Amino acid sequence: MEKGKFLLAAGALVTLFTSCLHKAEIVDITVRPMPVTASLDAEPNSKAAAIVDEYRQKVTEKQAPVLGTCEELMEAKRPESLLFNFAADAIRWKADMLNGKPVDFVVTNSGGLRNVFNKGNITVGDVYNVFPFENYLFLMTLTGEQCITLFEELAAAGGHPLSGANMVITSDGKLVDAKIGGKPVDKSASYRVATIDYLAEGNDGMSVLSKGTERTPYEEMILRQVVTDYIKKFTDAGMPVSAAIEGRTIIKD
């Protein structure tokens, strides 16, 4: 079947034989390809279109409010970018409050950032476009040894958003150096780390996060809402949102 021209099993004829006990057995299935082309839109269903239009209007209204402004394009790029740092800083800001004292560092993933913040107004819809998933904040404690392992995993990926930590890595994904709070990682120490639930399960190549202790999920703290609150903090102060490239992840061969 040629890709893009047919929807497999869009229609099927199923033959059943039944008995007086009302049990059914499938004895034959016939499948035919159905072309998926613009011809299907030739006679749109007016009732279906009305339902879609109703919800489209509601969604548009909910996404329209302006939360703040951005002075420059923010993109998610490895090894470090403005959107990387902005997202990680937003998590750190909220995590410090939840933890009752500053966390040691934050790590999240580039794959959770699905769009950009363009220069200009940032709307509710923009935040949904960048943060479409229902991930929530998650705090845990890692040993220094585990932190080194985590940084090695981040290096292998070419970098992920960080706040409160910085790394030097090679272009082929090896860890050269890592610091937490500007200091070398103490392998015998413990560090309080903020992340999201998806990564806390060990996903996206960060397997060591599944081994953290003192695990504290904050299911009500959806990342998208955390970012929304962080943007409003800037707006309430009469400022545009901002972030800076600070050498959190540097590639050096």
Domain spans of the chain? Answer: 10-63, 67-251
pLDDT score recorded for residue 77: 97
Q: Give the predicted TM-score (pTM) of the model.
A: 0.82
Question: Which pair of structure tokens corresponds to residue 26?
Answer: 């499938």
Q: What angle do CA 102, 146, 216 make, to 5 degrees?
A: 45
pLDDT score recorded for residue 111: 96
Residue ranges, the chain, pLDDT below 50: 1-10
* Closest C-alpha among 74, 63, 70 to residue 123: 63
Task: Dump the DSSP string for 186-248.
Answer: -TTSEEEEEEEHHHHTT-TT-GGGGG-EEEEEEEEEEHHHHHHHHHHHHHHTT--B------S
Q: What is the pLDDT of residues 192-228, one digit of tens each?
A: 999 999 999 999 999 999 999 999 999 999 999 999 9
pLDDT score recorded for residue 29: 85
User: What CATH architecture does domain 67-251 belong to?
Assistant: Alpha-Beta Complex (3.90)
pLDDT score recorded for residue 52: 87
Q: What is the pLDDT of residues 33-53, one digit of tens each?
A: 888 888 877 788 888 888 888
pLDDT score recorded for residue 123: 98
Question: Which pair of structure tokens corresponds to residue 118?
Answer: 């363009």
